[in-house]
A = this chain, B = another copy of it.
Amino acid sequence: MVQLGFESCMILGLDIGGANTKAASSDGSFTDMVYLPLWKNAQLGEVLGRFADLSPEAVAAVMTGELADCFSDKSAGIQSITATVIDTFSCPIYFWGINGFQWKDPLELAAANWSASAALLGREVGDCIFADMGSTTTDLIPIKGGPLAAKTDYQRLGRGELVYMGLLRTSIGALLSAARIRGDTVPLSPEFFAITADAYLTLGDLSPENYACDTPDGASKSREASLRRLARAVCADLEEIGEAGAIAIAEQVRDHQFRVVVNAIERQAERHKLSRVVAAGIGEQVISGAARFLGMEITLLSEKYGQRISDIFPAYAVARLLEASSIV
C-alpha cells in the first residue's frame, strides 16, 4: 500500500444496516454512526456522500440493510445498496461476503457484517464466542479455528447465532409476553408502543443521547415520555399504573433480555465447547454481564480496541481486512 499522507491513504470501512450506517477508517482514527432507517426510504447516498468527502483510497463494505422491507427481496436490496455505494465513491470499492472479498453470487453479501468481525477476531483473538449486541439484533458467532456460523440470517436464527433482539429498537411487546404489576400478570400489547431503549432509559442505563433511534410514538426521549410509552404497552396511562408500575415493566424487560442473552451464549458455548466471550456493540455490557453470570472468560472489545471502535466494529473490521489483504 502506497502511503500518500492521511487523506489519500485512508481505507474506509462501511457497515450499511437497515437502521444504522456505520463507518470507520482502518487505523481507527475515524469512526461514525448515522441513524438511517432504509425502510423509511432514508437517503443512503446523501450520507455516503459525506464519507466520500474524506477521499478514502479504498472502500471496504459490508451490509445487512438488504433485509429492509423497502426491498422486495435480498437480491433487490443488495443491488440497490451496492449501486448506491458505487455511485458515491470514485475510489476502488470492495464488498465483503460471507466467504471474504472474493465472491461469485451477490447473495453472499447478504448480512455478512458479522462475518467480517469474526474473521478479524479469529486472527487477532483466537477461539471465542464473538457476541455483538446492537440496536436491533445480537450476533453470537462461534469462532474455533475460524468462524463457524451458518451462512444466512435464516440459518443463523435457527441455530441461535442470530438473536433478533437489541438494546434499543426491540418492541417490548414482542420480547415480553406479560408483565407482573402489583401482583397482577398483565399481557403486553403487540403494538409498537414501547421499545427496549425506553426500558433502559427509565432505569438509568441509557442516556437520551444514546437513544439512537426514533421513539415509537414520535414523542421525546425524556424519562417521562419513556415511562408513558412503557405504560401504553399495557394499554394504560402512566397515572393508571404509576411510575412504579412502568418501572416494573422496564425491570422485567431488562431481566428477560438478560436471561435470553445468557441462554443464547450458553447454547453456543455448550455446542462448540467454547469458554471465552468477546463482547461488542452498544450492548457490550449486557453481553459481558451474561458471560460473567456463566463464569466465562470475557474480553471487552471496547477495552481491546476502544469504545468508539467497539460500537461500529464490523465497519472497522472490514477496513482492517481490506488493508491486510493483497488487494490494495
Instruction: State the A residues within 8 Å of B (CB).
Output: 39, 67, 69-70, 72-75, 111, 152-154, 157-158, 162-165, 170-171, 173-175, 181, 184-193, 216-219, 228-229, 232, 234-241
Contact = CB atoms under 8 A, between A and B. Distances in A.
Given A152-B240, A157-B186, 10 more contacts: A39-B217, A69-B191, A69-B229, A153-B236, A154-B234, A157-B187, A164-B191, A170-B190, A171-B190, A192-B192
A235 B154 contact: yes
Contacts of A154: 186, 234-236, 240-241
A154 B185 CA distance: 11
Contacts of A219: 72
A278 B184 CA distance: 28
Copies in the complex: 2
Given A164-B189, A164-B190, A190-B164, A69 B217 contact: yes
B73 A237 contact: yes
B190 A165 contact: yes
A157 B236 CA distance: 10
Contact of A217 (B70, B74, B157, B185): B70
A300 to B, nearest CB: 27
A124 to B, nearest CB: 28
Contacts of A188: 164
Contacts of A69: 191, 193, 216-218, 229, 232
Given A72-B219, A73-B228, A164-B189, A67 B235 contact: yes
Contacts of A171: 171, 174, 190, 192
A202 B77 CA distance: 24
Contacts of A189: 157, 164
A4 B274 CA distance: 83
A131 to B, nearest CB: 17
B174 A158 contact: no
B174 A187 contact: no
A190 B175 contact: yes
User: Quick one: which of A164, A175, A219 has the most chain B CB within 10 A?
Assistant: A164
A152 B69 CA distance: 36
A199 to B, nearest CB: 14
A267 to B, nearest CB: 12
Contacts of A186: 154, 157-158
Contacts of A240: 152, 154
20 contacts: A69-B193, A69-B229, A69-B232, A70-B218, A72-B219, A75-B237, A152-B240, A153-B236, A154-B234, A157-B187, A158-B187, A163-B187, A164-B187, A164-B188, A164-B189, A164-B190, A164-B191, A171-B171, A171-B174, A192-B192
Contact of A157 (B162, B170, B235): B235
Given A67-B235, A70-B217, A190-B165, A158 B173 contact: no
